[in-house]
Amino acid sequence: MISLKGETKTDQILFEYHFMSKKPKSTNWPRPVTQWGVIFAIVLIALIPKFNNNFVPDFEAYCPFGGIQALGSYLLNQALSCTMTSAQIAMGIIMMLAVFVFSKLFCAYICPVGTISEWLFILGDKLNVNITIKGVADKVLRSLKYILLFITVLFTFQSNELFCKKFDPYYAITTGFSIDVVVLYAAIAIVLVILGSVFIRLFWCKYICPLGAISNIFKFTGFFLIVLAGYILLIKIGLNIHYTWPLAIACIGGYAIELTGFATKTFPLLKITRNENSCIDCQLCSLKCPQAIDVASLKEVRDADCNLCVECISVCLVKDTLQVNNRTSYRWIPAIATVTLVVVGIFIGSLWELPTIDQHWYGKEVMAKAEIFTQSGLKNVKCYGSSMAFAAKMRPVSGVLGVATYVKTHKVKIYFDPQKLTSARIQEMLFTPSKAILKSLKQGVGEVKEVTVYLDNFFDPFDFSYLTRLLTDRTAAVGLVTEYACPVLVKIYLPGNYDISESDLISVLESKTLSFMVAEHEKTVELGYKVSKAPVFKTISKDEYSNILFRPYVAQFNGFTKYDSSAVKALKFPMGKNKENRAKLNYLVSHLSNNGGIIEFRTLLNEKNEELVAISYVDSLTNAQSVFQTLNNDTLIFNNRDGSKGRMENIFRFEE
Are 592 and 573 in contact, with CB atoms under 8 Å apart? no
- Phi and psi torsions of 137, nearest 5°: -60, -40
Sequential DSSP letters for 427-448: HHHH---EEEE-SPPPTT--EE
CA distance 374 to 355: 13
pLDDT attached to residue 124: 93
Are 309 and 290 in contact, with CB atoms under 8 Å apart? yes
CA distances from 493 to 275, 433, 470 (A): 85, 16, 14
b (16+ CB within 10 A) / e for 285-295: bbebbbbbbeb
For 342, residues 6+ apart whose C-beta sits below 8 A from its C-beta are 62, 91, 94, 110
Tally Cβ neighbours within 10 Å of residue 348: 16
The pLDDT confidence band at residue 522, using thresholds 50, 70 and 90, is confident
Q: Give the mean model confidence (pLDDT) for residues 136-142.
A: 95
Q: What would the pLDDT profile of 44-59 be if each residue is shown by its tens digit? A: 998 988 887 767 788 8
Are 146 and 247 in contact, with CB atoms under 8 Å apart? no
The pLDDT confidence band at residue 27, using thresholds 50, 70 and 90, is confident
Q: Is the pLDDT of residue 17 over 60?
A: no
Q: What would the pLDDT profile of 150-167 be if each residue is shown by its tens digit? A: 999 999 999 888 899 999
The pLDDT confidence band at residue 409, using thresholds 50, 70 and 90, is confident
3-class secondary structure, 2: coil
pLDDT attached to residue 59: 84
Q: Is the pLDDT of residue 80 over 70?
A: yes
pTM above 0.85, yes or no: no
pLDDT attached to residue 24: 56
CA distance 571 to 297: 97
pLDDT attached to residue 26: 53
Sequential DSSP letters for 6-65: T--HHHHHHHHHHHS--PPPP--THHHHHHHHHHHHHHHHHHHHHH-TT----TTTT-HH
The pLDDT confidence band at residue 414, using thresholds 50, 70 and 90, is very high
Are 650 and 633 in contact, with CB atoms under 8 Å apart? yes
Q: How far is CA 509 from the centre of its chain?
A: 31
% of the chain beyond a pLDDT of 70: 95
The pLDDT confidence band at residue 593, using thresholds 50, 70 and 90, is very high
Q: What would the pLDDT profile of 174-215 be if each residue is shown by its tens digit? A: 999 988 899 999 999 999 999 999 999 899 999 999 999 999
Q: Report the range out of 60-74, 194-208, 425-439 with the highest average pLDDT.
A: 194-208
The closest alpha carbon to 581, from 635, 650, 628, belongs to: 650
pLDDT attached to residue 403: 96
pLDDT attached to residue 6: 46
Average pLDDT across the chain, whole number = 90
Q: Residue 220 burial (CB < 10 Å; 0-12/13-18/19+)? A: buried
Q: What would the pLDDT profile of 233-262 be if each residue is shown by its tens digit? A: 999 999 989 999 999 999 999 999 999 876
Q: Residue 35 burial (CB < 10 Å; 0-12/13-18/19+)? A: buried
The closest alpha carbon to 325, from 273, 267, 264, belongs to: 273
CA distance 110 to 106: 5
3-class secondary structure, 108: helix
CA distance 123 to 197: 9
CA distance 348 to 652: 59
The pLDDT confidence band at residue 15, using thresholds 50, 70 and 90, is very low
pLDDT attached to residue 5: 44
The closest alpha carbon to 430, from 401, 455, 400, belongs to: 400
- Phi and psi torsions of 50, nearest 5°: -65, -25
Q: What would the pLDDT profile of 544-565 be if each residue is shown by its tens digit? A: 998 899 889 999 999 999 999 8
Per the rule left: phi > 0, alpha: psi between -120 and 50, beta: everything else, 398 is: beta
The pLDDT confidence band at residue 1, using thresholds 50, 70 and 90, is very low
pLDDT attached to residue 20: 46
First to last CA, the chain: 114
For 187, residues 6+ apart whose C-beta sits below 8 A from its C-beta are none
Tally Cβ neighbours within 10 Å of residue 86: 22
Q: What would the pLDDT profile of 273-324 be if each residue is shown by its tens digit? A: 999 999 999 999 999 999 999 999 999 999 999 999 999 999 999 999 999 9
CA distances from 424 to 486, 487, 584 (A): 9, 12, 38
pLDDT attached to residue 410: 86
Q: To 5 degrees, how large is the angle CA 71–CA 261–CA 149?
A: 30
